[in-house]
Amino acid sequence: MSLTIYRSHRTHILYDPERLAQPDDPALPPPGPAWLEPTAWRERGLVTGSAPGRGESLFLDVAGQQWVVRPYRRGGMAAKVSRARYVWPGFERTRAFRELRLTHTLHEQGLPVPVPVAALVTRGGATYRGALITVRLPQTQALETRLGTASPALLVEVGRTIRRFHDAGLDHVDLNARNVLVSDTDKVWLIDFDRCRLRTDGPWRERNLARFKRSLERFAPDQAETFYRSLLDGYRNT
């Protein structure tokens, strides 16, 4: 199904009507800046947990649906200017809208990504704030936390999965062991497509893999070379 846009004053919400019937559902916080505030979700008893990170991601239970809402936050030197505000580029060029549309495209192609629900953007003058909502992947952990007990077969599967995304043209600019999720049955998913894009074949593939190797060296220095060889076995033999 195609995505739909809801407009309310300076707020636009891009959403999948199969997952979110109406952004102004009274069970939800009022569509607008309240979606960016954890207290607004908590006041309605929708929060079931949270995850650490640059911005607090909330786990939600909305009418039996398990969602994750992730606000956009800056890192590095840019965070000293503003952690949550970005220069206004027009709704369709905001990070939230671009990530939701890309995630929707990947999901429609049958790739293992979180199911997209909605992207919210609220404008204030020359800047904006945004958030992304996706369906929570059940019983999954970041690969980072699994590396201590990971088998070579799991890393082979990670390599196969990365290759599927590369063959679809996805340049994942932050490919690392935290953005790969693994289920309790060793199904592999990729997450966090902020600033990523679809491209024709090129050297970006090797840059993605090199970035992933650096994350293995950071999180599992003693096993990084072994893990990376297994990953390449899966990547090259898919």
Measured in degrees and rounded to the nearest 5, phi and psi for residue 216 equal -65, -40
Residue whose C-alpha is closest to residue 116's, from 141, 94, 97: 97
Taking the CA of residue 165 as centre, how many other CA atoms within 13 Å lie in the half-sphere pointing to its CB? 28
CA 210 to chain centre: 20
Burial class of 180 by CB neighbour count within 10 A (0 to 12, 13 to 18, 19+): buried
CA distance 77 to 232: 34
- The number of beta carbons lying within 10 Å of the beta carbon of residue 173 is 15
3-state secondary structure of 125: coil
238/236 Cα distance (integer angstroms): 6
Phi, psi of 217 (to 5 degrees): -65, -30
Residues assigned a catalytic role: 174
